[in-house]
Chain A
Amino acid sequence: MSIFGTVVVKRGQYKIKGDFHTITPNMPIRSEDEKWHLVGVTNPRCMTYIHTYGGEAVFFENLSKGRIHGSRCDNPDCEFPGTVYLPFRIHCPDCLQRSTVVDLTEVCKTTATIHTFMVCERSGAFNTLDKPIKFINVEFEGVSTILMSYLSVGDPKIGMRVVPIFQTLEPTYTITDLSWVPEGTPSSKLPKGFTFG
């Protein structure tokens, strides 16, 4: 019986267990237009990648705990010291010094507004979000960049105040663990698995 591939790091190396690929036979492609002559074959493939978050791991770990972390350049010799980034920048893009990890949860809860948005009726393969997906780009006071995310309740508008919600009950440890709802949304309206943190 196959099991999903799992990975742990031990002594600096990935240790893998379970199935990381599934072998499926090729199938012929034939042309109905040309007397069913052979045109090609299908090449089915099911693979599992092993991906590191590196220095961004702290962000994804803390989402599951209801916290949002960003980064700040604290290098006094930088041209723009004190600049705060969300999405996370492991290194300052100006001086390339390693940034300081800062907890922006309260900033996000009290100052978030929708910079722009759209409503997505279609998705690509492997999408896990319910459609229509309400993409929102969120801006925060004192943060130089804007975060791409999605709204789980209500209809988005530019300038709307929103607050973060977190998939704390069954986290996926991906960016989809973070979502937003309009300010004042009661807990009872939150999607399954999400809390205010």
Chain B
Amino acid sequence: MITFSDRQLKTPKLMRPVYLVTAGQSKFDRAIPEKRTEELCIDALAMAARLIDKTPAELKRYIHSCYYGHFADHFGDQLLGEAVIHDRLGLDPLGNIGIKTGGATGGSTLWEAVKAVASGYSDCVLAMGWERMDEVPTDEGNHLISCAADKDWETPLGHIYTGYYAVMAQKYWQVFGREEESFRRTLAEISVKHHGYARFNPFAQAPMKITVEDVLKSPVVAYPLRALDCCLMSVGAACAIICDEDTAMELTKGTKNKPLRIWVAAGSHTLRPACRRHMEIPLLPHEKADQYADLGERFPGGERYPGFTGFLGARMCTYYGYRMAGIHNPMDDLDVIELHDAFTISDVQSYEDVGLRPYGEGRDYVESGDCYHTNPHTGKPGRLPSNLSGGLIGCMHAVGATGIMQTFEIALHLWNRWAELHGDPDIWKAFNRKKPDDWQDLQVKGAKRGMAISHAGVGSHVTATILMDPDHLLKPDA
């Protein structure tokens, strides 16, 4: 059993409003042999400057401190890569710090950047994340990722992180999935959706026009997870510029970017799923007391929380984040969302953790069509479209950059600039990628609020980054 004090559950409060002003990203791919990591970071920063009609040099003059996220020194074989990148970006001698929280590194980098501005330490900060996963063969990459598990108790068991998710997948479908075949098809539908949306994203690494059958026939990695259930190993960089209100207004004056209010909240839970002790489910604002009292009766085996079926870290970041930003029900209050689809199963698990559906009913978010840009059952806009970037399965998982890429994607919808960047023939050409003849504009029309979930380990760190058009806040004093 775990219990929290009221002080531990206090809703975080920023000392002043914080804004996302602009962002940028590089091409994402399995390997980019022609560019050093610094070149990818410069690509991202140059894009961020371009979106607010500035040169990189002009934008740099506003930056006061820097937050750099990258997951693994092992991958790039470069200890303290932050110092190398900082130097090459020409931001010496400004203060900078490295952030490292596994798969959540991008989200955590934004968390630190937002706190720096909220506290008054800086008026304008750079949050930059990257990963270089092409400098080792795939099996060595899998080993390095598995080193993020406990090296004595878990890593030696196969040296592959997918396995640690697969045991959760097995438990989840047997408790909540009920029927294996139909549940497997729901998972496969997620992969089809995310690879499909990646087709309309020039930055994306794995565009694919595939079917549910293709996913179900792809090679088993760790049963029940197959190759097309899994996220990508990637190279790439993404950045965001975070400012106080005055600086945000100054930087965006006369540009297409309206400064967006940003909040980031974080949660964590034991790195080893094996170490999860039972506890009561922390309730989100739209959930009711005793809502889950009969969970074990409705879903035999589901009484243990968080067990192997939920991510307490994901629940906690939204527990704090929704209350900070005034979100009552994410399905009603948000217009677009990016979830951390490391695996199809973790996507489904997250629907429940962040309250898109109650625990036990996550698959309905996919099956109802609510998660699509256009609901395949009704032909009307999806109620809360998710992962229109293609997510980690279709777009990329350059770990330190991922949470920032997701946030940039949400921001583009709120700026109504999604089609401008994703449809730009020059970007497709620059990345040597062919824009599909049936390219679709996935802009979520009228989007005012969105959220990106960044997630690490088997739920060891999770952040919720919430963006809102400042004219459409849900809570006046947020």
Contacts and interface: CB of A to CB of B under 8 A. Distances in A.
A175 B276 contact: no
Which of the listed residues A115, A132, A144 has the most CB atoms from chain B within 10 Å of its own CB? Answer: A115
A67 B412 CA distance: 58
Contacts of B166: 118, 120, 135
Contact of A137 (B34, B139, B167, B221): B167
B140 interface: yes
Interface in A17-59: 29, 31, 39-40, 43, 45, 51, 53, 56
Interface stretch (A101-109, A146-154, A160-168): A146-154
B392 interface: no
A121 interface: yes
A122 interface: yes
A120 B275 contact: no
Contacts of B143: 124-127
B159 A121 contact: no
Nearest to A177: B156
B339 interface: no
Given A121-B219, A125-B159, A175-B153, A87 B139 contact: no
Interface residues of A, number: 47
B3 interface: yes
B33 interface: yes
A79 interface: yes
Interface string B133-162: 000010111111110001111101111111
A86 B323 CA distance: 36
Contact of A135 (B153, B167, B220, B275): B167
Contact of B34 (A39, A120, A135): A39
B220 A121 contact: yes
A179 to B, nearest CB: 10
Interface in B28-42: 33-34
Given A29-B33, A119-B222, A137-B273, A124 B170 contact: no
Contacts of B301: 158
A89 B3 CA distance: 18
Given A39-B33, A43-B77, A158-B171, A118 B163 contact: yes
B156 A176 contact: yes
A12 B164 CA distance: 36
Given A115-B171, A120-B160, A40 B33 contact: yes
A122 B169 CA distance: 17
Contacts of A53: 152
A137 B274 contact: yes
Given A119-B223, A146-B308, A176-B157, 20 more contacts: A51-B151, A56-B152, A87-B153, A87-B272, A118-B224, A119-B222, A122-B162, A122-B221, A124-B158, A124-B160, A126-B143, A127-B159, A129-B157, A133-B158, A135-B166, A135-B167, A137-B308, A149-B157, A158-B301, A175-B154
16 contacts: A31-B34, A40-B33, A89-B275, A115-B308, A116-B170, A118-B167, A118-B224, A120-B163, A124-B141, A125-B140, A144-B277, A146-B274, A148-B153, A148-B272, A175-B153, A176-B157
Interface of B: 1, 3, 33-34, 77, 137, 139-146, 150-154, 156-164, 166-171, 174, 219-225, 272-278, 301, 308
